[in-house]
Amino acid sequence: MIRQLNSNEIIKLLGKDFDYLQTNQNNQELFVSRDILKSVTSLLKNNPDASFNLLTCISGVDYIEYFQVVYHLTSTHHKHSCIIKVNLFGRNDLFCPSVYDLWQGADFQEREIWDLLGIYFEGHPNMKRIFLWDGFEGYPLRRDYLEAPR
Amino acid sequence: MTSELMTVNFGPQHPSTHGVFRLRITLDGETVVALEPIFGYLHRGSEKLAEERTFTQVITLTDRMDYTSAMTNNQAYVLSCEKLMEVRAPVRAQYLRVISAELSRIASHLIGTGFLINDLGAFITPLMYCFRERERILDLFEMLCGARITLTYMRVGGVFQETPSEFWPALESFLTDMEYRLDEYESLLTENEILLSRTKGVSPITTDQALNASITGPILRSTGLNWDLRVVDPYEIYNRLKFEIPIGENGDNFDRYLVRINEMRQSISIIKQCIEQIEPGEIRLDLPFLIRPDSGEAYGRVESPKGELGFYLISDGSISPYRCKVRPPSLINLTLLDEMLVGWKVADMIVTLGSLDFNMGEVDR
């Protein structure tokens, strides 16, 4: 059985530096800001007690007031998983640090989010559209995207 | 000796790209020196379409993702919905789902094996052998739900309908024949000198490389790691069944082929156990016609023939999903194309693409 860690267990794995993330609620996921995303994810990958060596899934969600990037991580050693979320506010010039240098598996998934939701991943070596052609206007998975007239 | 580099387009219209996959490859003579995969020729915007359909209607979209194993796509989606709604299907429905998912796995691996041999130059004959058996699986699916490819057999909270009486004898006779057929394939292929010399040691990857690139499924297991969601994170009734997970050693093309052949044998054993254990009972929960899950989110995943297939569903309490994100194993398994193909000859590249067994319907969605 793969056990899903809650937010307090994740914070415990991160060590003393991140104690301030602690809240009274026991969430299923850990919210971090994009400034500390890289340090959090690299700790989760390299700490032997966490060793999240498999980046399962990156998803982007448009919540209209803000965008959310969701990371599902799994460890094949400890058979546990966790969810990390980053909220991005605004609708233009969105960016988020890329985790490509930690997990190569982020390659196509981050390109897909850039293509369909317009979130730019800084540090990705090949950040260009993946399904749609260069020059396509708009980001179709956004909630305010209007279809072309039929 | 080096020659002038040449850049050519491989695909999108090419029989061994298994769909509409395009590679822009730079060649030095016959050796691949650089490549760039180009996707999107089959992009239909399934995730966007899902936001405008009801939870039940989305099942029809999942059929069209990996169209060689629609059952496992259905299963991944309905399991995510059930996780979102915190319900579980009746036991009989779970058995029926596992039987059909394993049949789907055999069908998908048959296509994977057949096309791999086809790419090796054994034109059409072995492929037709594989299609002969797949045809019988499609007949079984037709008995279950009336469709052969786009099945939509599973529903949130169960399956579409009770099995007809002719299904069970047909299933048992298929399983008996399939075991014999697998022996036949292996006697033709597994120790075939041409297959061995063309696939052994070609395009190997290590476990660390594969994990780092999020590769799952038979490709990951061929590197020697025992990681199968049916065992490490059992869903439905898999924890009541006894089966082995075939693994490889070298992660090369031959191991990928062999893992698939052995997985088919395990699937046959799984279905036989299900036939013994299944009991009469309910096949579907009594849920309303329009499902309205409470707002929340769920990530459900199954072991599809290609790897980990996940659905990340978010509900806002309405009749359609707010967001339906698919984790496509076929797309993510292509991450290591550079490491696998650069430095090998064009003819080896074709074989490696065959052994990766990706499906463009799922890559582009």
Quote ipTM for the complex: 0.88
Range of the domain at A54: 3-93
User: What pLDDT does residue B1 have?
Assistant: 64
What is the tens place of the pLDDT at every residue in B153-180? 998 988 888 889 899 999 999 999 998 8
Give the CA count within 13 Å in the CB-facing half-sphere of B305. 37
Which of A91-111 are b and which e, b meaning 16 or more Cβ less than 10 Å from the residue's Cβ?
eeebebbbbbebbbbbbbbbb
What is the tens place of the pLDDT at every residue in A3-14? 888 887 888 888
Which chain B residues contact residue A83 at CB under 8 A? 299
User: What pLDDT does residue B14 have?
Assistant: 76
What is the tens place of the pLDDT at every residue in B174-224? 999 998 888 888 888 888 888 888 888 888 899 988 999 999 989 999 998
A68 belongs to a structural domain: yes
Task: Indicate whether A147 pLDDT > 70.
Answer: no
A33 belongs to a structural domain: yes
Whether A56 sits inside 8 A of B232 (CB atoms) is no
For residue B339, the distance in angstroms to the closest alpha carbon of chain A comes to 12
Task: Indicate whether A149 pLDDT > 60.
Answer: no
| Nearest Cβ partner for B48 among A1, A103, A141 | A141
Q: Taking the domain B6-364, which CATH number applies?
A: 1.10.645.10
User: What pLDDT does residue A24 have?
Assistant: 67
Measured CA to CA in angstroms, residue B238 lies from A75, A90, B188, B210 at distances of 21, 45, 32, 25
A118 belongs to a structural domain: no
A124 belongs to a structural domain: no
Q: What's the average model confidence in pLDDT over A72-84?
A: 90
User: What pLDDT does residue B108 have?
Assistant: 92
User: What pLDDT does residue B106 have?
Assistant: 93
Euclidean distance between CA atoms B178 and B262, whole angstroms: 13
∠ Cα B144 B149 B155 (to 5°): 50
User: In this structure, are residues B298 and B313 in contact, taking their beta carbons and an 8 Å threshold?
Assistant: yes
For the domain that residue A40 is a member of, what is the CATH number?
3.30.460.80
Residue B273: count of CB within 10 angstroms of its CB: 18
The two three-digit tokens of residue B80, written as one number: 């995510």
A25 belongs to a structural domain: yes
What is the tens place of the pLDDT at every residue in B86-104? 898 999 999 999 999 999 9
Q: What's the average model confidence in pLDDT over A67-88?
A: 90
A146 belongs to a structural domain: no
User: What pLDDT does residue A148 have?
Assistant: 56
**3-class SS of residue B69:** coil
What is the tens place of the pLDDT at every residue in B256-283? 999 999 999 999 999 999 999 988 888 8
Task: Indicate whether B77 pLDDT > 90.
Answer: yes
∠ Cα A115 A117 A121 (to 5°): 70
User: What pLDDT does residue B197 have?
Assistant: 87
Q: What's the average model confidence in pLDDT over B27-56?
A: 89
DSSP string, A75-110: ETTTTEEEEEEEEEESSSSEEEE--TTT-TTHHHHH
| A109 near B CB under 8 A | yes
Q: Which of B84, B205, B214, B302 to mutate to test the interface with A (most CBs of A within 10 A)?
A: B214
User: Domain residues of chain B, as ranges?
Assistant: 6-364
A53 belongs to a structural domain: yes
A9 belongs to a structural domain: yes
